């Protein structure tokens, strides 16, 4: 949500990682008639005395329906300390992993992803073989010869191919417990009926009310549902999940947002948990969420978790703020995010996207690399980087998706646009170029190469009569940028209920290289914060950046805030804002 100072640097060094990949044959023995055959891809990220092991188990034979057991023998003194996506047991060098209760089936060509943390000394040699349900294999489906020799040949030879191709994969969702590369592809999103009703209460709202939006779990009470209407209404997690099943939705999006000391450098979205309440976060917030998401009733849904907005980047740029310094010192953000990723990543149909701020916050070199490093630190705290499906940028913010009339390489009369007051030496001028570049940086520090990015486009359209239609002809770099830019905020540091904003690109899957989806995680029409102090029982304070009369501070260059007046507390319905977002939508609404 918030832009942060680009000048506060925190250097983090990622632990060195060594990856060993071994494609090993594994046998399947499920039912008496099932053909055996499967593959194991085994890899490790290791350090001096420990390592994280990752196993991707692919069934090449008939479906397994009654549970699976994977076994192997370590060649050295490796000792597993904890594991996920299976029940791990070790006796000496022998390891047995049984399928979790929520993922006891493994269809043909389906893959189970499991992993573990372990310690060792000496040489960490990979296991030489695996077996599944007691049978070893060579990595392919064996062809068994007939037990008797046919006495007569076939009387005819087919001259035409079959009318159907039995090798064509089905178009339905993969088997339960099998994660797809991009959960947005081929799936219809859940439409929150509470937001839909609010949208349709405003004239013209029915034009966009059937778009999927994020469901924000911004306090413990939101898990079970609340009776008030100030923020998330009365529906709890199970209510939303049941409604998603009724809709026939393919995916549902939850915002996991309740860290201790939440949003440490702002006030409007402070949370209910104090800086020292990490145990409550784990036991009263994350554990109940994980329990609900792992209910087999919801196996058919792809459950997408947007993990902790405005957290990790604060540890890079804002440790001059006392609360942020505390959260850096006590590890609450890193350990909290790590715990959430661990618990939710173990669920076979759940997908975790970690918040990665936006280009106006960490687009400077001093913030770009350190932010990637601390995100890797949190992922490793979860036990495995595989717990991260991807990252999301621009959540609840206003940064333009594209600036069509200039790029970071544009010069004006020999002067780079980076020298303009608006760009302020940033390396990026829009969100798409930033998200694609940050994805590559994340992969380079140790995240999987198949991670995808999400961009929240719920309020970054910047259409309407004030939208530029061509590049400026000015030879002054500041004038050129100000007249050419799509983002019409007074300053890129303004973040609260911005006047003139519009709906952006509608939610869509795989819209650009490296981008899993454009999403509306911040439901359009829900306030960023109150224009004046409004007492509430949700821990949400009053931030002057939401006050339209405030003349600003060092974070927005001492400019006016550009905030709309008469706004309610963050998360509450703000119909005047929704009307403006529709009026300024780009692409325009019909």
Active-site residue numbers? 263, 310, 528
218 is in an annotated binding site: yes
Tokens at 34, concatenated: 């099932």
397 is in an annotated binding site: yes
522 is in an annotated binding site: yes
Residue 446 near residue 45 (C-beta atoms within 8 A): yes
DSSP letters for 221-288:
HHHH--S--SSS-S--HHHHHHHHHHHT-SEEEEEE---TT-STT-STT--SS-TT-HHHIIIIIIHH
Tokens at 234, concatenated: 């009365």
Residue 209 near residue 189 (C-beta atoms within 8 A): no
Order of strands across the sheet that contains 79-84: 22-26, 38-46, 50-59, 111-119, 79-84
Residue 451 near residue 390 (C-beta atoms within 8 A): yes
Exposure string of 216-252, with b = 16+ CB inside 10 Å and e = fewer, is bbbbbbbbeebeeebbbbebbbebbbebbeeeebbbb
Tokens at 297, concatenated: 């009733």
Pairing of strands 215-217, 251-256: parallel
Query: How far is Cα 239 from Cα 30, in angstroms, rounded to an integer?
Result: 36
Q: Could you give the C-alpha distances from 423 to 221, 364, 432, 573, in angstroms and in order? A: 41, 10, 15, 32
| SS3 (DSSP) at 94 | strand
448 is in an annotated binding site: no
509 forms bridges with which residues in the sheet? 517
425 is in an annotated binding site: no
40 forms bridges with which residues in the sheet? 24, 57
- Other Cβ atoms within 10 Å of 77 Cβ, number: 14
495 is in an annotated binding site: yes
330 is in an annotated binding site: no
The set of residues, in sequence order, having a beta carbon less than 8 Å from that of 35 and lying 6+ positions away, is 28, 61, 62, 141, 142
Q: Could you give the C-alpha distances from 289 to 236, 277, 341, 446, in angstroms and in order? A: 11, 17, 12, 28
Angle at 111 between CA 107 and CA 115, to 5 degrees: 135
Helices (H) and strands (E) in the chain, counts: 13, 20
526 is in an annotated binding site: yes
- Other Cβ atoms within 10 Å of 277 Cβ, number: 19
Task: Mark the binding-site residues, compressed into ranges.
Answer: 216, 218, 358, 361, 397, 495, 522, 526
Task: Mark the binding-site residues for substrate, compressed into ranges.
Answer: 216, 218, 358, 361, 397, 495, 522, 526
């Amino acid at each position: 949500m918030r832009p942060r100072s680009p000048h506060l640097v925190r250097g983090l060094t990622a632990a060195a990682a060594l990856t060993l990949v071994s494609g090993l044959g594994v046998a399947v023995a499920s039912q008496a008639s099932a053909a055996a055959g499967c593959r194991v891809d085994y890899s490790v990220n290791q350090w001096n005395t420990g390592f994280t092991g990752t196993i991707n188990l692919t069934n090449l034979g008939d479906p397994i329906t009654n549970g699976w057991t994977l076994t192997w023998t370590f060649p050295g003194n490796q000792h597993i300390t904890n594991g996920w996506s299976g029940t791990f047991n070790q006796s000496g060098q022998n390891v047995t992993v049984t399928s979790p209760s929520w993922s006891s089936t493994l269809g043909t060509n389906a893959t189970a992803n499991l992993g573990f943390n372990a310690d060792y000394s000496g040489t960490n040699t990979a296991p030489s073989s695996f077996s599944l349900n007691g049978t070893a294999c060579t990595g392919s489906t064996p062809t068994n010869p007939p037990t008797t020799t046919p006495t007569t040949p076939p009387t005819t030879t087919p001259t035409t191919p079959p009318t159907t191709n039995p090798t064509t994969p089905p178009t339905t969702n993969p088997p339960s417990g099998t994660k797809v590369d991009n959960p947005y592809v081929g799936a219809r999103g859940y439409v929150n009926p509470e937001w839909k009703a609010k949208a349709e209460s405003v004239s013209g709202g029915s034009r966009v009310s059937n778009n999927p939006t994020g469901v924000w779990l911004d306090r413990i009470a939101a898990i079970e549902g609340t009776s008030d209407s100030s923020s998330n209404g009365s529906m709890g997690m199970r209510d939303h999940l049941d409604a998603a099943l009724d809709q026939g939705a393919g995916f549902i999006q939850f915002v996991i947002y309740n860290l201790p000391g939440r949003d440490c450098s702002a006030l409007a979205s402070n949370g209910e948990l104090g800086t020292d309440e990490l145990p409550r976060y784990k036991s009263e917030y994350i554990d109940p969420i994980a329990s609900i998401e792992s209910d087999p009733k919801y196996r058919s849904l792809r459950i997408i978790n947007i993990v902790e907005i405005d957290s990790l980047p604060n540890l890079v740029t804002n440790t001059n703020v006392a609360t942020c310094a505390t959260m850096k010192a006590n590890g609450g953000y890193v350990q909290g995010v790590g715990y959430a990723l661990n618990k939710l990543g173990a669920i076979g149909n759940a997908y975790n996207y970690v918040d990665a701020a936006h280009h106006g916050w960490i687009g400077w070199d001093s913030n770009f690399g350190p932010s990637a490093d601390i995100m890797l630190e949190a992922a490793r705290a979860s036990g495995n980087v595989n717990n991260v499906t991807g990252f999301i940028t621009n959540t609840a913010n206003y940064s333009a998706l594209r600036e069509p009339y200039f790029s970071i390489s544009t010069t004006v009369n020999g002067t780079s646009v980076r020298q303009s007051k608006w760009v302020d030496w940033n390396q990026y001028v829009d969100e798409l170029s930033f998200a694609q570049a940050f994805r590559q940086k994340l992969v380079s520090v140790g995240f999987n190469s198949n991670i995808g990015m999400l961009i929240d486009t719920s309020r970054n359209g910047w259409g309407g009569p004030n939208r530029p239609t061509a590049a400026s002809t000015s030879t002054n770099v500041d004038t050129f940028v100000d007249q050419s830019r799509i983002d019409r905020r007074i300053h890129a540091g303004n973040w609260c209920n911005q006047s003139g904003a519009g709906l952006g690109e509608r939610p869509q899957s795989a819209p650009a290289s490296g981008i899993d989806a454009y999403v509306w995680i911040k439901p359009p029409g829900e306030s960023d914060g109150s224009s004046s102090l409004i007492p509430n029982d949700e821990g949400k304070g009053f931030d002057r950046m939401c006050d339209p009369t405030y003349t600003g501070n060092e974070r927005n260059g001492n400019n006016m805030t550009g905030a709309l007046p008469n706004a309610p507390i963050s998360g509450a319905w703000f119909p005047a804002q929704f009307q403006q977002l529709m009026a300024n939508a780009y692409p325009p609404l019909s």
